[in-house]
Structure 1
Amino acid sequence: MLYPWQTPMWQDWLDQGCYLGQAYLLSGADGIGISEFAMAMAQGILCQSEGLDACQTCVQCHQFSHQTHPDFLSLALLGDKKEISVDQVRALNDQVYRTTHQGGYKVVLIERVEHLNRSAFNALLKTLEEPPANTVMILTSHQSQQLPATLISRCRQIRFSIPPANEVMAWLQQQLPQADTLLLKKALKLNWGLPLSAKTWVESKDFEWESAWQTDIKNLQQQRISVSQQVEKWKKWSKPEVVFDYFYLWTVNYIRAAIYGKKLPYDRNWLIFQKSVLQARQLWQQNVNKDLLLESVCLEWLQCQQTDYQPNRALQPSTIRGDQI
């Protein structure tokens, strides 16, 4: 399934015709449909029709849509694992070098390749250096800055940008015709303009957490609950990281009010805190101590309301390592 904002990139892909590379790296933010684009690429390569646009009617397309195509191999995180292991990559490599079942191309899809551990990266690089004939590897990543340069250099790059807000808004209104326009705008703002994330946010009623969050921070400010106790409550949410989005939106509204002359105090502190929230949101995607990250943001939120506020050094990556978990 492709999305409207992917049409230009899809046309660029189709224009390649039969001049396929051996490996592609699809990179961009999570929530804009990179996985769906990769699957469409894979199906088009395996399809019996000419060109790279799948016909949806041939035997190959039928097998692909039913997840039974013998020449389509995929690799991703297993269950609650944090890494893709070297054993997974080695098992994949064994299948890659076998003869294709149907005499055409073999397609390998590795999603979120940034989750490969070091040994797994090394095992994959060997395959990228000496790929078997008629094999196309498609890698996806939401954090390509973490990938080794040696891996990136062996792939053709397809980079995905966040689509224009008006285009996304039109799509959301089509997908969610019953949703209030203001709610959709808030969904886009809280989800950084990512269309699929915004749609999920509305459908899962994540907006209902905002009221709970507002109550929580009032309790924090009035010392009715400790920071550690509050963090334990947020950790029970299905997506605790939404806390950062609410803190961010809070600062946006506060700073806007200060700019328009409402004489709110300490507006410079909110600018500093906003930067810290953005950094924390980014760190959340990495192998960090989640408890410490949430606690640090809470403490900084309390501190930034003081005139002598200074940024919390606990938000530095060096102090919130994964090995502290």
Structure 2
Amino acid sequence: MYLELTIIKINLSLWIIGYFIFFFFTYFLHFFIYRLTLKKLEVKSIHLEKSIFKYLLKNKKLIILGIISPDYMFAYLYKEVLDDNYDKDFCEIRKKKYYHDYKAQKIKCELIGERYECEIHEKKKKRKLFIIYSNWANLIVTSYFTLFAIFNLYEDFIPKYFIDLVIVIIITRTLSRVIEIIYAFYNDVVSPSMSSNLEFGERTSNLKRWNRISLAIHSYVEVTLLFALIYHLLKTTFEGSNEEYINTILYSFSVSAFNVSFPESLYTFENFFHVVQIGTSMTLVILALASYLGIQDEMNKYEKIDWNNNKYI
């Protein structure tokens, strides 16, 4: 049985196998990032499986979205687990003390909701680190795929069914990452509530302007390389083209620079990716970068102490 998508004819079983390989790879990638974040901050892990199951039960819509974008689902789940993974005795004011001795500095922490300011700071710091590590990890994974294609390591000795499997994994990963990137950057720009004096409200992490611009640029490059991989594999595998991969990368960068015209050689399925790539690039460049350039950054009192103690993250 074959799944026909214009020029693509890949066995349906390979689509299923490829999807599950990608799904579990995404799980372990985010698990690795989660553990790396805890190690960097010297925080002990909680019962991970129980926490993830709890959040899935609370947000059943996340399961449906997770089928389409495992990257978004696992990033969301691990960030929620990180939020819960904090020392409830971290603030010394909870112990009936008047001040919190934060890194040898006496601070009067204010209670905001159920947490003190210092605990909110630690929560945002964990989120910031997790987001930065995730951004770099995804770019590195895509770079390895790119090197694989540049050196044509699959041409001579890898069977066709394996190449088909790689195509499925790259397509599912690309669509998953696109959904996560668009949602994450859109939500980051529009979600902070606006106060009465037209200032942005609280954000969920301590990411600064330069962090957010760096994340957007890395994601822009990652998306461009992912789509270049798709164009290249479609042409070499199903059209028999011998076009060098570097030309496909250049074409992909032109699409990311809003090249909206369709070359005559493109098929319907390639046109679909062309449109998705332009939409993703527009989200990153117009929505994210334009908004981030106007952000005014300020360090809170805890960040200033971290900075002075060479512990700033």
Q: TM over 0.5: same fold?
A: no
Q: TM-score range by the shorter chain?
A: under 0.3
Alignment TM-score, normalising by the size of structure 2: 0.20
Between structures 1 and 2, the one with greater helix share: 2
